[in-house]
Structure 1
């Protein structure tokens, strides 16, 4: 079906699909982060406010998740750069 479109339309469609997939990955990561940190940090019955320990735990959980994600992205980029230099 994509063969029926000209090159510019195919490229635009590919870019759109790529952007939608990136957005889906982001939503999936946010869902995973929310679930993981909630299970780890919220120990009591939820009310209108988190306890002080829950707030601290949630903040630390999110920070560590983001730190780990950034670390992994940097490592993957380094590996790609090394493979690019070897080719």
Structure 2
């Protein structure tokens, strides 16, 4: 039960829309937390000690991390797009 029994139709619509918006914001926050975690992992993996210039190994590692991040982001975005399209039909 949605606990909206005593609400008018317009109030139910507003409450449902608010719930949807909250869910979207929660998803955004979860995604940002994952990005932050991923950044920490890449930093810990690639950067031994920060300096004024990146050495070749560090630069290569960071480039690889960024490329994997982009690949992962595109995969997730495509999957969400497919889910939305299936839900719209």
**TM-score scaled to structure 1, two decimals?**
0.63
CA contact (8 A) 1:37 1:61 kept: yes
Long gaps (5+) in structure 1: none
Bigger RCO (CA 8 Å, 6+ sep): 1
Count of paired positions: 80
CA displacement, residues 8-65 of structure 1 (integer Å, 9 cap, x when unaligned): 211221122112112112211111210111121112x213443232122111112123
Cα RMSD of the aligned pairs, angstroms, is 3.1
SS at match of 2:51: coil
Structure-to-structure mapping, 1:15-30, within 5 angstroms: 15-30=20-35
Structure-to-structure mapping, 1:1-87, within 5 angstroms: 3=4, 6-43=11-48, 45-71=49-75, 77=82
1:19 to 1:49, Cα distance in 2 relative to 1, 3 A: farther
Moved over 6 A (4+): none
Q: Which protein has the bigger helix share?
A: 1
